[in-house]
Amino acid sequence: MKDAKSKQPILDVKNLKMYFPIKGGLLNRKIDDFKAVDDVSFSIQRGKTFGLVGESGSGKTTVGKCILRLVEPTSGQIIFDGADLTRLNAGQMRDQRTHMQMIYQAPAASLNRRMTIGQIIGEALWLHERLNARDRRKRVLELLDIVGLKSEHYYRYPHEFSGGQQQRVGIARALAVQPQLLILDEPTSALDVSVQAQILNLLQQLQDEFDLTYLFISHDLGVVRYMCDEIGLLYLGKLVEVADSETIFEQPKHPYTQALISAIPDPDPDITREEIILTGDIHTKVSDIGCPFAPRCHAAKVPACDTALPPLVNTNENHFVACHLHLADEDAPQKEAYA
């Protein structure tokens, strides 16, 4: 708060929790919670890209949907541009939503297959600013040009496009409402490698041009490194490590991060690195009280691993880690909690 307005993050997620009830028993009563997102906090500065990385089932997409309030979070705050979204009613949220748009993993499924490209993008313009038909058409053609499509694509249907082109349409539709924040939910994971690079380049170009802020959700560390300024690693709904992109890749501290980074294939066949093989999968979990990663952890354990949940603490210049090993051995002067 003491910082200047420009230093205030555009998006500040505080203690976000999303619990889905598990129902069962004779009367179908709630017997437990599935903690899809459990106490996640992070913030993104305007114009920057924050990468949210995790395996399938880690809760990364749920975080994105909570921010857009496509699902109602159980608790926590989502402060967007100074306003707490969790306190808005449906009508106010509808006004806010256009400031944030989502780009989907499966581009074909994110477009109505019975509408032409012109209609799809045009409808976004109609919903946003009630443009008349002529202005809408003009603006759609501009947007098609911005995302690298051509005017003759105006009357085509989604199925007539390649995956990359469909994703461009999705991006054009999102840009139509002049958003400030784009939530990119694995935007390239369904695409060929050559097309991935084109879409990523387009996204970077658009970020510079329109001063966009990105929340980049992905499991592909290579892509994340290329795209993101800051990275948070999510494991079973909890952030285990947050730092700027450089630090994550050069000095990973959490054993989970270390394992993921060691698994990135190196294009040079002569270089052999020691790869850390994780056992089990993300749902391998033994106790409710210990570190959620403990059952799969390859690092030397301390007794606390099985008995206490490690908090996310600042171990070094804004390098946040949730691991008992780093709580124990580093005597960093300030061990404040993150955010």
Partner 1 sequence: MADFITDDKPVSIDDGRSHRWENLRRGVYRFRSNTMSMLGLSILVFIFAVAILAPYIAPYPKDATTGVNPVARFTEPGAEHPFGTDRIGRDIFSRVLIGTGLALKVGTTIIVLATSIGVTIGAVAAYFGGWVDELLMRFTDIFLTVPGLVLAIAVTAALGRGIDNAMIGIALVWWPGFARLTRSQVISIKEEPYVEAIRGLGAGNLRILFRHILPNAISPIIVKMTTDFGFAVLTAAALGFIGVGAQPPTPEWGAMINEGRDYFPDEWWIATFPGLAIWLMVFSWNLLGDGLRDVLDPRSRR
Residues that bind partner 1 (CB under 8 A): 68, 70, 94-95, 97-98, 100-102, 104-106, 109-114, 116, 118, 123-124, 127-128, 148-152, 154-157, 159-160, 162, 164-165, 168, 170, 173, 176-177, 195, 198
296: number of Cβ within 10 Å? 17
Asked if 34 contacts 261 with a C-beta cutoff of 8 angstroms, the reply is no
CB of 116 to partner 1, least distance (A): 6
CB of 98 to partner 1, least distance (A): 5
CB of 265 to partner 1, least distance (A): 25
Tokens standing for 187?
């935007």
CB of 135 to partner 1, least distance (A): 17
135 Cβ partners below 8 Å, 6+ apart?
none
Closest CA to 43 of 17, 16, 71, 61: 16
Q: Which is nearer to partner 1, 72 or 268 (CB)?
A: 72
- Cα–Cα distances (Å) from 313 to 265, 318, 321, in that order, read 30, 9, 6
CB of 142 to partner 1, least distance (A): 15
CB of 179 to partner 1, least distance (A): 10
Q: Sign of the CA dihedral 316, 224, 62, 103? A: positive
Characterize the bridge pairing of strands 11-24 and 75-80: antiparallel
Q: Which is nearer to partner 1, 106 or 308 (CB)?
A: 106
Q: Which is nearer to partner 1, 2 or 114 (CB)?
A: 114
SS3 (DSSP) at 241: strand
Q: Which is nearer to partner 1, 102 or 313 (CB)?
A: 102
Rounded to whole angstroms, how far apart are CA atoms 52 and 241?
Answer: 10
CB of 154 to partner 1, least distance (A): 7
Q: Which is nearer to partner 1, 201 or 307 (CB)?
A: 201
Q: Which is nearer to partner 1, 128 or 273 (CB)?
A: 128
Tokens standing for 278?
């994780």
Q: Which is nearer to partner 1, 59 or 292 (CB)?
A: 59
Rounded to whole angstroms, how far apart are CA atoms 79 and 91?
Answer: 17
- The secondary structure of residue 303, as a DSSP letter, is G
CB of 128 to partner 1, least distance (A): 7
Polymer length of the chain: 339
Q: What is the DSSP string of 189-239?
A: TTS-HHHHHHHHHHHHHHHHHHT-EEEEEES-HHHHHHH-SEEEEEETTEE
Rounded to whole angstroms, how far apart are CA atoms 196 and 218?
Answer: 13
Q: Which is nearer to partner 1, 72 or 331 (CB)?
A: 72
Q: Which is nearer to partner 1, 89 or 334 (CB)?
A: 89
CB of 93 to partner 1, least distance (A): 9
